[in-house]
Structure 1
Amino acid sequence: MTTTDQTAFYVSTQGKDSWSGRLAAPNADGTDGPFASLEKARDAMRSSDTDTTYIRGGTYRLDETLTLDSRDDGHGFLAYKGETPVLSGGQRVTGFASEGGGLYSAKLSIANGLDVSIGGVRQQAAQTGDVDPTAPATSGWHMLKAGTDGASKTSFNFSAGDIPSTLKPHAGLVVQTFDTERLKDDISSVKTIDQYHHTLTLDDAASYALRSGGTYRVMNDASLIRDAGEFGWRASDGKLVVKPEHPASFEADGVVVARLGSLIKTAGTSNLSIEGLTFADARHDGAALSMQGGQGNSVGGNHFVNVGTAVSLDGTDGSRIAGNHMEHLGANGVSMFHAADGNSIYANTIEHIGLIAKGGAAIGGTGSSETLVRNNDITDAPRYGVSFKEWDDGQVNRNNTVEFNRIHHVGQETADGGGIEMLGRSGTAMGSIIRGNELIDTGGLATDGQGNWLTDHKGWGISLDDLTSGVIVRDNFVKGFAWAGIYVHGGDGNLLENNFGVSSRAEDPFIRVEWVPKAGADARPHDTTIIRNLAAGDLPIDQYWKLLSPGSLTMDGNLAANGRAFGPNDAVFNPGFTDSARGDYSLKENADALSHGIHDLSWSSMGVDGYHADSSMPLFWDHAA
């Protein structure tokens, strides 16, 4: 006789939903064992006093999103100890036939989108422009032209030959567009292609009017495939066509087309725990874990790969997103909006995001307050590392803290982005803090009206944009920025203190303070305090500041390794870095900078490695099962 476990339910790829779900594995005579589906475990927890489900290793292909609500308060979906359960929102495609030239095709009932993987590696949708692997940000794009009636959000003109005459709109064909400022991209189905007038129209309006010099690429047609690792849809016979890098094994490795946008979606669920799971194969236009409302949820130790946005918090409060690994994302890492307040996002590794949609952030919030963003490692993002936006539409950001994060190689495909941004259109004091972060290589890319690429264009290290006020920026290290390491664009009462900046180009000042003329006289910054900052350069710099109608400010006690001083107590001398030639910008014990009132940064506290768990912010989970 088998004794069942009344303290938890189990789910296994070897299970059956007709069983009790109380056993971690099938019993010897095959009459009882774990459940087969998360839906069955959810329903079982709702109808019992059991609040925990352990999920065994293996891949669970979801045909529909797992939905949770207030009936699931306090429940947990946890990985079985030592095992890796994978939730996949993708369709496994088989039955490929060779077409020669390295191409293989298989029939699909519904057109694929832009999210296709082989062997767990995201593939590239074939496109009109040829991609150069050595210049992925600028290659593969065509320059567009405004129509005869001027810039439009719904159409643009293209040059003869850029779009093949044989290319016709179909269910899978999309176009991705950027205006010249490259602030945000849009992806729309192609409505019409007029080869006579060289005009393309979009099904959905772009965010910005498309001016001459903007960029576009038409994607996802099989006739556009050039290189291994690309795919496209062929509407004439309803087939997915791929050109795999490893033809002999690609079908066995697994060809997966993402179908679901969200794998788990909550509505008003509180005190929910989701730990140790892998979320995979979800569309770029969805959030793998989508939470709406509720509070006190825990999302920890999960792996998000080949999904769109990893986690979205829509009005979800007081929750923890910690210790997760998010990689190869079509869009964003963690997104917060609609007064998602009091959340803690810490000790996550977020890398290679925005592989399809370019305008987002590794961690972003709109109208989110009391947020802690701490000790995250962020690398390879096309626009922002961390961004908090307030558009003066009632969604305000207050009292957010961004500290001890390590943010590298961001802002590489867009302009006016970079490491950490706060945007405060209301001009009201935010009371937020940016401290102890390391920001290196913050990019900046745009185009001009003549179709030229503008590199190192508005790639800020830290940006207090459009009237952002009342923010403390202290003890940060910024290097490899474009236009400025720390940017104050309007706004009042901001404090910049004891930050270290290393400029790679003589024309890029460490600190830039600027008026926002389009917002009127009130947008002239006031009461900016810039004290005890340390500026250096890979080359001698002309000045470590740029002041453009800066309004009232206090700027004093700063140190420049070379260049010129500004305030009466500013100085110019060697600060005493430990070994700047090898990238060590810590201060020696007897560094002259220390006698100037500057203190060293807390280097060992930065990033995931700098995180030290405590009782109030647990990070590692020890599953009992």
Structure 2
Amino acid sequence: MAPARRCSTRGRVELRAGRPRSPLLTASFDLRPEAESVLSFCLQPSRDTGHLRSMRHGLILFCATLLLLSGSVRATSLTLYVATNGNDHWSGRLEEPARDGKDGPLASLPAALAKTRAARQDSAKTSDDISILLRGGTYSLAQPVVLAPGDSGSDANHPFTIATFPNENPVLSGGRRISGWKKVEGKSGLWQTTIPEVRDGKWYFRQLFTNDQRKQRARAPNAGYFQAVGDYLAENPVRFKYRDGDIKKAWVGTDAELIALHKWIDLRQFIRAVDETNRIATLSANIAQHVKEPDARYHVENASDALDSPGEWYLDRKTGVLSYQSEADEDLNNAEVIAPFIQSALLKAEGNFEAGKRVQHVVLRGLAFAHTDWTLPAKGYLDTQAAVHVRGDILLEGAEDCRIEGCTFAHLGGYALELGKGSQRCQVVANEIYDIAAGGIRVGETTRRQDPFEKNFGQVIADNHLHQLGRVFAPAVGVIIFQSGQNHVVHNHIHDLYYTAISVGWNWGYQETPCRENIIEFNHLHDVGQGVLSDMGGIYTLGIQKGTILRNNLIHDVNSYSYGGWGLYTDEGSTDILMENNVVYRCKSAGFHQHYGRDNVLRNNIFAFGKEHQLMRTREEEHNSFIFTNNIVYFDSGDLLGSNWKNEHYRMDYNLYFDARPDASADLMKFAGASLADWRQRGHDVRSIIADPLLVDPKNADFRLKPDSPALRLGFKPVDLSEVGVRKKFRKQVRDTD
């Protein structure tokens, strides 16, 4: 017989009904020494039969009853279950429906929240550990789920948890399934259905998903872009000259949307007038002078006559008719077609700013969030940078010490997640974020808050896999930090987006901001830009950021449309930023660019294979721009230094430079037009060398140094990339095979 379990003076007991994994109540208790022997007997593993087993069970029930009646007992755990076959009139304390059909799990998350709130109101049932577990399936939400301060957990060890049932996959969806499809006679592959809510003005959507795939709104042209002729003729409203046949007068006054790309922003507006004689189109709003771009690219969406390619769809607001051009062998009556209904955040945590109360110690674990939309203003949309006006679909404001882990964010209409006003010390760990209309994660606000309760700081963004971003709003960012400090962005894998991967800061100039002491490290960032927009970085910074560090990041394949595809990009006012141990390669414009800034430090980085330049410096100012030491610069195209290096307000030394082209030599290398000797006369790179750094296999992105590398003698320390990106223990969870 196995040894009897010893019972400590503190203990727990669970009363269960139905399935053994479904506790109705967990209690904690204090035992007197004389009671320990009785309970120890009750808890012994036993093969008893008959009378002895009955006696043991009777004692267990007797002890449990005494414990529950004792004043020293307090309820500490409440678990509720939600299932697609549940009922909101049931208790929610069973994992699955009881055999008699009288009890079982709840049917919705809002009902489960209502029950937890009721339990909290009953002081006799107040719980330290409250959990809601969702079983597999899709849960359609008619309105956002809102968490308030009263939903907070007790402390870090006793959080309020909303999570997936073990090994199942629940989806919280803001969409509705579209049915009633019929083939249109005489139109090969065309299907239609009528949606009364759209016809009645109660619903409109700009995204559609078929069998878990995003579908393209009817688009002209089907691929690529139209181009305006020259510059815009007017800015407010926008007027431009178009090429013959590109714009149709029939689109005026309809829901057809014109989407134009300009430098680092986009605009999405309606066509208000067309002058066919002079080929001039007038749009619904304005554009700022500094982002205008000659011969701007644009396309048109949701025009009825543009519905001409498989996988495209068109929604007629007036009739409510949704038309879809099917792909090969696609039967919509056997397909899952979902359109987003919720036009705002799917889930919100809202602190009470007036009362000074936060939402605290809430954990969201293993959930999937999908199918939201974003409402286009009546005059359209004009971005200023980073799709800043598009909010998060999971929105935390006034949240503290909350954690989002192991979740999936997909097919969403805004940014996936926002840690906004007043959110502090939250953690976002091991999530997958993909197929998002805008960007991945927003941290902080554009506003600089003075009230300590309203400030944002201390977030951890770790081991997340973000990809397929900017699917509607191209300027969106993978992870963006606004007016927020002391954040840690670490071990993320961000790729396949059209603008910057990580952006830190929101101040153009030298004013003091709360954006400081942000640590950006061990991130893998690649396939950024993809030739869609301009003026971007793998990592982009703005403003004074004392204590901010960018280190041990792997950045590659940053490609802009025209200018500005940079790896590390310190933009306007970037100050006091340390950049070290980064490996940056295959960036269109340069591995590093500083627009203007002060006292930044770049040390022990590798910059390789810049296509046009390797390093760039734009605005010259009367203070030290940066210190550039102990770096390796390795290239086989373009020049070493681009833009402005005329004044001497920068310091460069102990670097290794190498031009790997067959016809290159140390004598031919130019430093902003000067030879190395002349460059040294100006006080730069006095102890730097031009030599092969003996990288293991740079053409195949192996930037390790061979033992006899001359860079080591200069003081360069090898950069270990083995832990870059999502760590191995999380990769399967976030579907990252990199």
Q: Distance in 2 between matches of 1:475 and 1:574?
A: 19
User: Could you tell me how far 1:620 is from its partner in structure 2?
Assistant: 8.6
Residue in 2 that maps onto 1:178: 261
User: Could you tell me how far 1:485 is from its partner in structure 2?
Assistant: 0.7
User: Could you tell me how far 1:35 is from its partner in structure 2?
Assistant: 0.8
User: Could you tell me how far 1:206 is from its partner in structure 2?
Assistant: 4.3
Change (3 A) 1:313 1:188: farther
Q: Distance in 1 between matches of 2:249 and 2:270?
A: 18
Tell which deviates more after alignment, 551-560 or 12-21: 551-560
2:506 maps to a residue whose letter is E
Q: Distance in 1 between matches of 2:690 and 2:603?
A: 17
Residue in 2 that maps onto 1:439: 555
Residue in 2 that maps onto 1:500: 606
Q: Distance in 2 between matches of 1:194 and 1:44?
A: 61
1:372 maps to a residue whose letter is H
- The reply on whether 1:242 has 2:348 as its aligned counterpart is no
Q: Distance in 2 between matches of 1:61 and 1:547?
A: 56
Q: Distance in 2 between matches of 1:11 and 1:174?
A: 41
Tell which deviates more after alignment, 43-52 or 202-211: 202-211
Q: Distance in 2 between matches of 1:532 and 1:435?
A: 14
- The reply on whether 1:298 has 2:403 as its aligned counterpart is yes
Residue in 1 that maps onto 2:74: none
Tell which deviates more after alignment, 333-342 or 291-300: 333-342
3-state SS, counterpart of residue 604 of structure 1: coil
Change (3 A) 1:197 1:542: closer
1:319 maps to a residue whose letter is C
Q: Distance in 2 between matches of 1:431 and 1:160?
A: 54
Gaps of 5+ in 2: 1-16, 26-77, 120-125, 154-159, 352-358, 375-389, 446-454, 660-665, 670-675, 680-684
Residue in 2 that maps onto 1:514: 618
Percent same amino acid among aligned pairs? Answer: 24
Contact residue 555 and residue 567 of structure 2 kept, 8 A: yes
Contact residue 481 and residue 503 of structure 2 kept, 8 A: yes
Residue in 1 that maps onto 2:629: 531
User: Could you tell me how far 1:37 is from its partner in structure 2?
Assistant: 0.8
3-state SS, counterpart of residue 593 of structure 1: helix
Q: Which of 478, 483, 496 does residue 380 from structure 1 map onto? A: 496
- The reply on whether 1:83 has 2:180 as its aligned counterpart is no
- The reply on whether 1:29 has 2:100 as its aligned counterpart is yes
Contact residue 430 and residue 730 of structure 2 kept, 8 A: no
3-state SS, counterpart of residue 306 of structure 1: strand
User: Could you tell me how far 1:12 is from its partner in structure 2?
Assistant: 0.6
1:58 maps to a residue whose letter is G
Q: Which of 64, 67, 85 does residue 146 from structure 2 map onto? A: 67
Contact residue 186 and residue 357 of structure 1 kept, 8 A: no
Give the structure with higher Rg (CA). 2
Contact residue 126 and residue 230 of structure 1 kept, 8 A: yes
Change (3 A) 1:244 1:207: farther
Tell which deviates more after alignment, 90-99 or 371-380: 90-99
Change (3 A) 1:545 1:186: closer
Contact residue 144 and residue 216 of structure 1 kept, 8 A: no
Q: Distance in 2 between matches of 1:540 and 1:161?
A: 40
Q: Give 1:338-353 correspondences, 5 Å limit.
A: 338=445, 339-353=455-469
- The reply on whether 1:310 has 2:416 as its aligned counterpart is yes
User: Could you tell me how far 1:204 is from its partner in structure 2?
Assistant: 4.6
Residue in 2 that maps onto 1:118: 210
2:248 maps to a residue whose letter is P
Residue in 2 that maps onto 1:552: 649
3-state SS, counterpart of residue 227 of structure 1: coil
Q: Which of 442, 445, 448 does residue 335 from structure 1 map onto? A: 442
- The reply on whether 1:105 has 2:192 as its aligned counterpart is yes
User: Could you tell me how far 1:340 is from its partner in structure 2?
Assistant: 2.5
Higher relative contact order structure (alpha carbons within 8 Å, sequence separation ≥ 6): 1
3-state SS, counterpart of residue 213 of structure 1: coil
Change (3 A) 1:550 1:114: farther
Change (3 A) 1:599 1:89: same
3-state SS, counterpart of residue 590 of structure 2: coil
Residue in 1 that maps onto 2:299: 217
Tell me the TM-score normalised to structure 1 length: 0.88
Q: Which of 448, 455, 468 does residue 574 from structure 2 map onto? A: 468
User: Could you tell me how far 1:390 is from its partner in structure 2?
Assistant: 2.0
Change (3 A) 1:226 1:612: closer
User: Could you tell me how far 1:146 is from its partner in structure 2?
Assistant: 4.9
Q: Deviations over 1:116-173 (max 9, x none)?
A: 1100100111122231xxxxxxx1343266554x333544443342123333423x43
Q: Give 1:245-264 correspondences, 5 Å limit.
A: 245-260=327-342, 261-264=344-347
- The reply on whether 1:227 has 2:333 as its aligned counterpart is no
Change (3 A) 1:311 1:489: same
Change (3 A) 1:146 1:590: closer
Q: Distance in 1 between matches of 2:345 and 2:410?
A: 13
1:399 maps to a residue whose letter is E
Higher helix content, 1 or 2: 2
Superposition RMSD in Å: 2.5
1:559 maps to a residue whose letter is L
Q: Distance in 1 between matches of 2:728 and 2:597?
A: 32
Q: Deviations over 1:365-388 (max 9, x none)?
A: 211111111000011110010001
1:101 maps to a residue whose letter is S
Q: Give 1:17-56 correspondences, 5 Å limit.
A: 17-48=88-119, 49-50=126-127, 51-56=130-135
Change (3 A) 1:524 1:259: farther
User: Could you tell me how far 1:38 is from its partner in structure 2?
Assistant: 0.7
Q: Distance in 2 between matches of 1:611 and 1:438?
A: 19
Contact residue 426 and residue 460 of structure 2 kept, 8 A: yes
Change (3 A) 1:582 1:569: same
- The reply on whether 1:273 has 2:397 as its aligned counterpart is no
User: Could you tell me how far 1:282 is from its partner in structure 2?
Assistant: 1.2
Q: Which of 102, 124, 127 does residue 219 from structure 2 map onto? A: 127
Change (3 A) 1:188 1:243: same
3-state SS, counterpart of residue 8 of structure 1: strand
Q: Distance in 1 between matches of 2:730 and 2:219?
A: 46
Residue in 1 that maps onto 2:52: none
How many residue pairs get matched?
583
Q: Deviations over 1:4-50 (max 9, x none)?
A: 62320111101111000111111111100111111111111112134
Change (3 A) 1:249 1:406: same
Tell me the TM-score normalised to structure 2 length: 0.75
Change (3 A) 1:258 1:144: farther
User: Could you tell me how far 1:271 is from its partner in structure 2?
Assistant: 1.6
1:463 maps to a residue whose letter is Y
Q: Distance in 2 between matches of 1:200 and 1:312?
A: 37
User: Could you tell me how far 1:265 is from its partner in structure 2?
Assistant: 1.3
Residue in 1 that maps onto 2:533: 414
